[in-house]
Structure formats: C-alpha cells, structure tokens
Amino acid sequence: MNEIILPLFIVVPLIAAALCLPLNYVNKRLPFLIAHVVTLFLLCISIAVIFMKPAESYMIYRIGSLPAPYGISLIFDGLSILFITIINFAAFMICIYSASYMEKYSGKEKYFALLLLMLAGLNGVVLTGDLLNMFLFIELASIASACLVGFGTGGEETEAALKYFIMGMVASMFIMLAIVLIFSLTGSTNLAEISVQLPCCNIAMRSFVIMLLMFGFLTKAAAAPFHAWLPDAHPVAPAPISAMLSGVLIKVLGIYTLIRIIFNVVGMSFSISHTLVFFGGLSIIVGSLLAIGQIDLKRLLACSSIAQIGYIILGVGLATPMGVMGGLFHLLNHSLIKPLLFLNAGSIEHSCHTRDLNKLGGLGQKMPVTGMTSMIATFALSGIPPFNGFWSKLFVIIACVQAGSIFAAFVAVAGSIYTLYYMLKVQRLAFFGDLPTELANIKKTPYTMGFSMVILAVLCFLFGVFFQHAISLLINPAVTAVSNGLAYGKVVLEVL
Amino acid sequence: VGRDPGVARLREPEGRIMFQYMMCFLIFTIGIYAVAGKKNLVKSIFGFIFMEYACVTILLLGSRNNMQVQSPVVFASVLLMTGLASTLVLCALVMRIFERYRTVDPNNIRKLRG
C-alpha cells in the first residue's frame, strides 16, 4: 500500500500551482504560504519514501490499475531515490530563500505557480516509467523554467529566455523524433517493454535512435559542444531560479534521463561509453576555460556548472561501478554546492545591486554569513578535504585510472586546479581586499536568506566528513539500480 | 486497445514506403534549416512547426503494421498538444522581443554574447 504515496509527488504541486493564481485575489500572502507548505510536505514524503522502499526492489504504482503495456505506471527505484531527494530538498531551500529575495519583484503568485509547475515536471521525469510521459514532463519543466528565466521581463531576460527556449526546443524535437522511431520499432512507449524489445531491432536504426537521444539529452544537460545557452540563461534568472536550474534542472532533464535510457533501456556499450567520456572531458576543459575569463559573478558560476556536469558525465560514462558511484556522488555534491554559490551571489546582488566582480570587494566584514558559506562552497567545489567535493572528484579520478584512461584522469585533475583558481579569484575580488566607498553602508542579508545558505553549507561539510553514510544511504541504491542494466525491463515487467 | 487484427493490412510496395519516410525526414531537415539558418524569428517558429508535424507523420507512417499495443492516434494528439504549448510560449517570447527591440532579426538583438 506504500506506493499510493508516489502520485502525490506530481499531483500535489500541480494542484498547488493551479490554486496559486486564484487564491492571490483572496490574500496576497496565500501563494507564498502554499508554496512553502507544499515544498515542505514534498520534502517530508521524499525522506519518508526512502525508508518505505523495500531494498533491492521496485515500488510500482499503476495509474488506473491497468496492466503493463496498456496503462501508465510510476516506477520508483534506487536511482529515483537519489533524484527525488535532491529535487525536493533544493526546492524547499529555494522557497525559503525566495521569501526575502523576491520582495523587489511584482507578480509573486506567478513566480510560485511556475516554480511549483517546474517541481511537478521534475518529479514526474524521475518517477515515470513511460517514455512519452517522460517527454511530457520534460516539456512541462522546460516551459516553466523558460518562463522563470524571463521573469524579470527586461530586454536581457527576454533574450536569454528566448535563446534557452529555442535550444531546449531543438533538443526536445530530436527527443520527440527518437521516441516516435522507438514507437515504430517496438510498438510501445513503456520503458520496460522497450528495453525487452529494442535489442531485437535493426542495429542501424537502433544506433540512429541512440544518437538522437544522446544529442537531445546532452543539450538539455549543457555538455560541452551544446552548452551555448547555459552561460546566458542561468545568470539573468532570479538567483533562486539560477540555483534551481544549475543545481537540479540540468541534472534531471539531462543526466537522469541519459542514465535511465542508456543503462536501463538501450544497454551500455563500448562506443557509447567512449562517446560519453569524450563529451565529459570536453565539458571539463571548455567549462573551466570559459569560467576563468568571466567577471560577472553569476556568469562565472554558470560556466563552472558546465565543467562540473563534465565530471558527472565522465564518471557515469566510464560505466564501471566506481565511476558511476563517483559520478552520482559528484551529482549529489554539486546539487548542494552550486545552489549555495548561486544563493551567495543572489545575496551579494540583493545588497550591492551589482554582479560585476571588479566593483566588489571587502564584503567579508559586511556580510559574514555570505562570506563564510561562500568560502566553504569554494573549498567544496574545488575539492579540498574534508569537504564533500574532494571525495567525489577523487572517486572519478580513481575510476579513470582504473579504467585505463589516463588522459581523462589528467583532464579531471587539471579541471580541479582550474576550479580552485577561478573560485579563489571570486573570493579575493568579492570578499577580501578593501571595501569600495559606494558599498560602505549596504543592507544586511535577511535571515531567511542566511538560513538556506547556512543549512546548505553545513550539509556540504557533513557530507564530506560522513561521506560513507551519504554513499550507503543515497548513492549505493542508485548504483545498484544503474548496474542492473537491462535486467530492469524484465524485473519491472514481471511485477507489472 | 490499438491492436486490431481484423483489419486487413494495406500492402504497399517497399519503395513507396521508403519514399514517404524520406519525405518526412526532408520536412524535418527543412525545419532544422529554418530554425538555424533563417534571420527571422517568425520563420524559426514555422521551423519548429515543420519539425513537429514531420514527427507526427513519421509516427502515423510507422504504426500502419498493427503491431502497436498503444493507440498511435492518442500518441499523435498528445505530441500535437505539447507542440502547441511550446509554440505558444515561443510566440509570446518573440512578441516580447518585438515590442522591446522593434525587430525580429536575432542578429540585431545581441545584448548577450556566447
């Protein structure tokens, strides 16, 4: 009976999003209240569902109780645990942060409605067991996030939203073509059914479909040759939304879907592994080189996201248990560190009204909470022990060496050094040095903003010190689910 | 639901089926060209509509052999609906761009770079 909880992840935010707009006419505070209650509720049930799920098996909810190929089912396994926790935790933190940050914007009810819609889309992508549904939820999340990127409605915002949406839609079209071809080949859109049927199909057709899917998902994940939209779209969004986009959205729409399709549905192969390692390494190099030259704080962080996504793709692409574990652990760590850094940037922007690093300086005394948490995030992101980023980068590098790709290991180490360089540049220019005279009497950071940043920073530290517990609770089930490979289809079809 | 073994399968020569697929892929490529190569955002929107309809036509072409367990017509209508939603958002964004810059040429609105 536990599986009755699964549809709540999608239905509750959808209903709440629909309620936000009419209830705004009753009381201006209601949309805000609804968003907080809903995200807290989702965080609670996502923690509860970790302990409800029986180990080594799947939780399956059939919508309308229809049998396997006809009905739609929600499937919850180890990989979903990791992503559900990340999504709902980040959403809750961002909701708390938004309370003070969004004061300067009008139309807050639309903001919270779009945020909840995006949350429903992200939860749906992670839970669904059907390719067509996955596409629908990807579109839902993309549309909501494009509207949120353009939320400021200025010229720059609209332009970035347009660029983001066009790139996202081209990727969606390729995914749509791939889904249509898969449907023609196998006669089904159920992931389990496809994974059983697809190996019997024409090899040329199969490779073509895999190529289309990889193009689509790597574009959604902003891996290196397809990254052009990310440095524009993420900085102009409001800071909490940048945190959500960089921390969660690119991982769910790009990495989760890629892992699910490549490992569990079409099956990992030698050539796919090499392609992913190539794109991962390229992303590390391109992202690091782009980030070094930036003077806009949020743009620098967005470029750094490309490099960190490269580590994840590199680790997962090696397809060894160590590599997958390193990649997924880095994904978990990055979803804590990058929101923290973007929230810091938002706090600086809130107080100083600029993101230009050359106009900042000496903020360490004026904003102690932001300074400390930013320092922790810098150490964590560049892989300094005992923070969490160190362990995940170490695992990825060890996995590279074990798999025999010394060049990839070299790229990963070099990327880490570059990360330290550009993050220390941010620290020096923003938090150390002399305080410019125009910043002498800046506002203090509001408490709600400080609260989210402190919680995230504490988690960065705890996940570094007690990394075995984090791995055994969240990462190992995910690695088991990934390394089950094509057995996923057979097991799920038996249960259905 | 969609499986109907009673309907006699339409026998068509292989060449014609291949030709129809090729035409669909041609429409898809025209769509990509319109999105990537045209200096007019309205033409880009048409490009997306081309790509979407090419996908739907490939879906209906590919599901003529009655082996599908799910109904292709429902599938096609769902794809059209999502396409409609995305196209409307895109139209809204292009209208905003036009109101602000009085142009739909993406080369003239380069405030952001790369």
| pLDDT per residue rounded down to tens, chain A (496 residues) | 678 889 999 999 999 999 999 999 999 889 999 999 999 999 999 999 888 877 777 888 888 777 766 778 899 988 999 999 999 999 999 999 998 888 888 888 999 999 999 999 999 999 998 899 999 999 999 999 999 999 988 888 898 999 999 999 999 999 999 999 998 888 888 898 899 888 888 889 899 999 999 999 999 999 988 998 999 888 899 999 999 999 999 999 999 999 999 999 998 899 999 999 999 999 999 999 999 988 899 999 999 999 999 999 999 999 999 999 999 999 999 999 999 999 999 999 988 888 888 888 888 888 889 999 999 999 999 888 889 999 999 999 999 999 988 999 999 999 999 999 999 999 999 888 888 888 877 878 888 889 999 999 999 999 999 999 999 989 999 999 998 888 888 888 887 7
pLDDT of residue A391: 93
Query: By the CB < 8 Å criterion, does B111 face chain A?
Result: yes
Neighboring chain B residues of A232 at a CB cutoff of 8 Å: 112, 114
The nearest CA of chain B is from the CA of A62 a distance in Å of 16
Please say if the pLDDT value at position B9 is more than 60.
Answer: no
B112 and A147: CB-CB below 8 Å? no
pLDDT of residue A187: 81
Size of interface A-B (CB pairs under 8 A): 109
Neighboring chain A residues of B86 at a CB cutoff of 8 Å: 139, 142-143, 165, 169, 172
Neighboring chain B residues of A173 at a CB cutoff of 8 Å: 31, 48, 51-52, 55
A184 and B63: CB-CB below 8 Å? yes
A187 and B48: CB-CB below 8 Å? no
Neighboring chain A residues of B89 at a CB cutoff of 8 Å: 143, 146-147, 165
List all residues of chain B from 24 to 53 with a beta carbon under 8 Å from chain A.
28, 31-32, 35, 41, 44, 48, 51-52
* Residue among B1, B82, B112 minimizing CB distance to A136: B82
Question: How large is the ipTM?
Answer: 0.89
The nearest CA of chain A is from the CA of B58 a distance in Å of 7
User: Cα A320 to the chain's mean position, in Å?
Assistant: 22
pLDDT of residue A484: 86
Kindly state the tokens that stand for A409.
């290991």
Query: By the CB < 8 Å criterion, does B88 face chain A?
Result: no
Neighboring chain B residues of A177 at a CB cutoff of 8 Å: 28, 51, 54-55, 58
Neighboring chain A residues of B69 at a CB cutoff of 8 Å: 69-70, 187-188, 193
**Which residue is closest to B96 within chain A, CA to CA?**
A158
pLDDT of residue A69: 67
Query: By the CB < 8 Å criterion, does B1 face chain A?
Result: yes
* Residue among B32, B79, B85 minimizing CB distance to A176: B79
Residue A436: burial class (beta carbons within 10 Å; 0-12, 13-18, 19+): middle
Kindly state the tokens that stand for B79.
């794809």
* Residue among A158, A169, A185 minimizing CB distance to B96: A158
**Which residue is closest to B1 within chain A, CA to CA?**
A70
Neighboring chain A residues of B101 at a CB cutoff of 8 Å: 155
pLDDT of residue A51: 85
Distance CA A334, CA A283 (A): 15
Name the 3-class secondary structure at B26. helix
Kindly state the tokens that stand for A394.
């170490």
Distance CA A116, CA A331 (A): 23
The mean pLDDT of B74-87, rounded to a whole number, is 90
CA-closest candidate to residue A284, choices A260, A308, A257, A248:
A308
B100 and A158: CB-CB below 8 Å? yes
Neighboring chain A residues of B94 at a CB cutoff of 8 Å: 162
Start-to-end CA distance of chain A, whole Å, equals 15
Name the 3-class secondary structure at B46. helix
B41 and A162: CB-CB below 8 Å? yes
Residue A440: burial class (beta carbons within 10 Å; 0-12, 13-18, 19+): exposed
SS (H, E, C) chain A: CHHHHCCHHHHHHHHHHHHHHHHCCCCCCHHHHHHHHHHHHHHHHHHHHHHHCCCCCCEEEEECCCCCCCCEEEEECHHHHHHHHHHHHHHHHHHHHHHHHHHHCCCHHHHHHHHHHHHHHHHHHHHECEHHHHHHHHHHHHHHHHHHHHHHCCHHHHHHHHHHHHHHHHHHHHHHHHHHHHHHHHCCCEHHHHHHHHHHCCHHHHHHHHHHHHHHHHHHHCCHHHCCCHHHHHHHCCHHHHHHHHHHHHHHHHHHHHHHHHHHHHCCCHHHHHHHHHHHHHHHHHHHHHHHCCCEHHHHHHHHHHHHHHHHHHHHHHCCHHHHHHHHHHHHHHHHHHHHHHHHHHHHHHHHCCCEHHHCCCHHHHCHHHHHHHHHHHHHHHCCCCCHHHHHHHHHHHHHHHCCCHHHHHHHHHHHHHHHHHHHHHHHHHHCCCCCHHHCCCCCCCHHHHHHHHHHHHHHHHHHHCHHHHHHHHHHHHHHHHHCCCHHHHHHHHHC
**B70-79 confidence digits (pLDDT tens):** 778 888 898 9
The nearest CA of chain B is from the CA of A185 a distance in Å of 8
Query: By the CB < 8 Å criterion, does B76 face chain A?
Result: no
Neighboring chain B residues of A73 at a CB cutoff of 8 Å: none
**Cis before A235? omega within 30:** no
Helix (H) or strand (E) run with residue B3 in it: none
Distance CA A56, CA A72 (A): 22
Secondary structure tally for chain B: helices H, strands E: 3, 0
Helix (H) or strand (E) run with residue B100 in it: helix B72-101
Which amino acid, A380? A
* Residue among A165, A166, A183 minimizing CB distance to B62: A183
pLDDT of residue B10: 53
Neighboring chain A residues of B54 at a CB cutoff of 8 Å: 177
Other CB atoms within 10 Å distance of the CB of residue B61: 16
Kindly state the tokens that stand for A461.
């530290």
Query: By the CB < 8 Å criterion, does B75 face chain A?
Result: yes
pLDDT of residue B7: 46
A158 and B72: CB-CB below 8 Å? no
Distance CA A290, CA A304 (A): 8
Band (pLDDT 50/70/90 cuts) for residue B67 is low
A183 and B100: CB-CB below 8 Å? no
* Residue among B41, B54, B63 minimizing CB distance to A183: B63
pLDDT of residue B39: 86
Residue A16: burial class (beta carbons within 10 Å; 0-12, 13-18, 19+): buried
Inter-residue contact A193 to A72 (CB < 8 Å): no
B63 and A139: CB-CB below 8 Å? no
Neighboring chain A residues of B41 at a CB cutoff of 8 Å: 162
- A107: CB partners within 8 A, 6+ apart: none
Band (pLDDT 50/70/90 cuts) for residue B12 is low
pLDDT of residue A96: 93
* Beta-strand pair A72-76/A59-63: antiparallel
Sign of the C-alpha dihedral, residues B98, B101, B104, B106?
negative
**B30-54 confidence digits (pLDDT tens):** 999 999 888 899 999 999 999 999 9
Please say if the pLDDT value at position B98 is more than 60.
Answer: yes
pLDDT of residue B54: 94
Band (pLDDT 50/70/90 cuts) for residue B68 is low
